[in-house]
Amino acid sequence: MAVTQTTVAESCAAAKRAARGIATASTEAKNAALEATARLLEERSEQILEANAGDLADERAAGLTDALRDRLQLTPERVAAMAEGVRVVRDLDDPVGEELERKTLANGLDLRKVRVPLGVVAVVYEARPNVTIDCAALTIKSGNAIVLRGSSYAERSNAALAAIVREALAEAGLPEDAVVSLAGGDREELAELATQEGLVDLLIPRGGEGLKNAIKAVATVPVMYAAAGNCHVYVHADADPEMARRIAVNAKVQRPGVCNAAETLLIDAAIAERFAPAVLGDLAAEGVELVGDERARGLAGGVEVGAASDEDWDSEYLGLKMTVGVVDSVEEAIDHVNRHGTGHSEAIVTSSEEAAEAFTSGVDAAAVYVNASTRFTDGFEYGMGAEIGNSTQKLHARGPIGMRELTTFKYVARGDGQVRE
């Protein structure tokens, strides 16, 4: 079965044993497993959707917000997109064994720095069943084993998807325990997973600040946080108004329940009087609840804008709500973003190269955009095939976590009898 009935420690030990086999698997075998996964996703789409419908109807999902229900829900198009993503990963270059550096030392040793898998990656995630497939595809191609721990309210969907990947691994002659799925358990189980030293080489939690803080309190294994996204769009004084309106609306409403959706709109005071009413009208027409500072509210025209609290500026809404502020310069915008942002994705709309350069160099974030929506921070959009999440840390990965972010390296030295004097 894909969802284990064993303990967390036993599941991690099984993944550790499987990691040895998949770490040395050929590219051809890994690609065969990925193709089998994509094929089975297509063939069993109805079964997957039936399992997902059971999750959506379960009382455990009854209290979810609209944004979280959207993340939980699968459709035929989303299942097809999963299969497409798996095939994109299949077609990417295998990172394992890539030579990063090579040199001959003065003593004659031939020294190579080569890319190798991490080992066992554990991922904790909420709501989105497609994460099960994205994570499995990336770890298979990068030669890692994975322990998946999804939400309890997505248990049926995740079990169905993990079972498909395990079947595909076996079909390709690879150890099926290279993908192990835990049923979503309580915080004690989470703490147990976060303390599997010697078995888990990296833990990646995907979720809100509550999950992040729960992991921080107990983790003894290395952790890379795929953290929250309080993202901003700053409309500079020299922005093209029509472009800025398109970008602001897209960044907020195209899919509001994801971490790269914009939560705050900053408008330069030099254009606020003529720009604010139009863009706020656009956002309100899309059903966005708006709150703002005193200047933004005063320029809203007939658009209703509530008073922003101190908490609003630091909030990741993951829904149709947005905070709006007016700033006096690009420097003030940079300061605001660095003070309130989470280091995820930030955007400036401007025709000024000087302002663009100041913003991209001054903002401390994993992804910074000039004249584009924040919604592009995504492993698939970046050509990685998929992602495990977006890291807002600086070590050991930043931005979309793809195959190469799931590897480390080793030095391999070859000699002909050298000894150190």
**Is 153 or 36 the better-scoring residue by pLDDT?**
36
Structural domain 8-226+388-414, CATH architecture: 3-Layer(aba) Sandwich (3.40)
pLDDT for 61: 86
Position of tokens 């076996």?
170
At what angle are helices 45-57 and 27-43 packed, to 10 degrees?
70
Rounded mean pLDDT of the chain?
94
- The listed CATH number (3.30.365.10, 3.40.309.10, 2.60.120.560, 1.10.8.50) that belongs to domain 231-376: 3.40.309.10
3-class DSSP state for residue 266? strand
Q: Is the pLDDT of residue 3 over 60?
A: no
How far from 80 is each of 39, 74, 123, 242, CA to CA, in Å? Answer: 10, 10, 23, 34
Q: Is the pLDDT of residue 1 over 50?
A: no
What would the two tokens of residue 117 be? 């898998």
The pairing of strands 231-235 and 345-349 is parallel
The confidence band for 352, taking pLDDT boundaries of 50, 70 and 90, is very high
Q: Bridge partners of 346?
A: 232, 368
Residue 263 contacts residue 253 (beta carbons within 8 Å): no
pLDDT mean over 359-386: 95
The secondary structure of the chain in percent helix, strand, coil, rounded to multiples of 5, reads 45, 20, 35
Domains in the chain: boundaries? 8-226+388-414, 231-376
Integer Cα distance of 147 and 18 in angstroms: 11
pLDDT tens profile 284-306: 999 999 999 999 999 998 999 99
Distance of CA 329 to the CA centre of its chain: 31
CA-nearest of 161, 182, 211 to 45 is: 161
3-class DSSP state for residue 124? strand
The confidence band for 328, taking pLDDT boundaries of 50, 70 and 90, is very high
Residue 78 contacts residue 130 (beta carbons within 8 Å): yes
What would the two tokens of residue 41 be? 């996703």
Integer Cα distance of 292 and 286 in angstroms: 17
pLDDT tens profile 181-193: 998 667 788 999 9
